[in-house]
Structure formats: C-alpha cells, structure tokens
C-alpha cells in the first residue's frame, strides 16, 4: 500500500484542501497515470490532467488547480519509479553561460 496525496487549490480564493488515500500503486507509469486521473476525477470531476511524470500529476479545473502524488516510503531507494522524494534544496543553474 502507498499513500496518495491529492492537494487542491481554489483559483479564486486560494483555499486549499488535502486528501490522503491508501492505494495499491501500479508499477508502470501508464497504470499510475490512469489511477491518478481516476481518483482525482472522483474528487474534482471537471479537472483535466495537464502534466504527468515520476508519479506526480497536475490537473486544472474551472475552479481548482490539483496536484496528486504518491508519498515516498523511507525504505524506497533513490530514483524508484513513482517515488517522490521530500523537498530537497535545489541549485538553480544560470540561464546563459558567461
């Protein structure tokens, strides 16, 4: 079992809701994409998928911006398919070389 987090932000009021579901995460990306689309549709029927990658999908509806992602488990190894790591410091590269 894996925890799936669905975070929605209202576009006008900036109100946010977070839903957590325990799911069997599909091992392949097509299955993950389908599962995320199905579960988000159950909560936000008009939201349409805008992007997907590495077990994370974003959706846009008339009133909500929605992000759905699988939560990484401590024993998952780095870079596992569908695993989402905790926020890590990032270093922005310069856009143009000097």
Which residue, 3, 34, 19, is CA-closest to 67? Answer: 19
Whole-angstrom Cα distance, residue 34 to residue 87? Answer: 25
pLDDT per residue as tens digits for the range 44-86: 999 999 999 999 999 999 999 999 999 977 655 444 444 444 4
* pLDDT band (50, 70, 90) for residue 41: very high
- How much is the pLDDT for 94? 58
pLDDT band, very low/low/confident/very high, at 2 (cuts 50, 70, 90): very high
Note the pLDDT of residue 12: 96
**Domain definitions of the chain by residue range:** 2-70
**Average pLDDT of the chain, as a whole number:** 84
pLDDT of residue 73: 73
């Amino acid at each position: 079992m894996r925890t799936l987090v669905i975070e929605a932000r209202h576009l006008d009021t900036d109100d946010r809701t977070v839903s957590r579901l325990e799911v069997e995460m599909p091992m392949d990306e097509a299955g993950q994409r389908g599962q995320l689309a199905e579960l988000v549709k159950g909560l936000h029927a008009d939201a349409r998928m805008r992007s997907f990658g590495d077990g994370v999908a974003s959706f846009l509806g008339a009133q909500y911006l929605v992000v759905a992602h699988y939560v990484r488990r401590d024993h998952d190894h780095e870079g596992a398919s569908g695993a989402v790591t905790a926020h890590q410091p990032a270093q922005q590269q310069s856009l143009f070389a000097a």
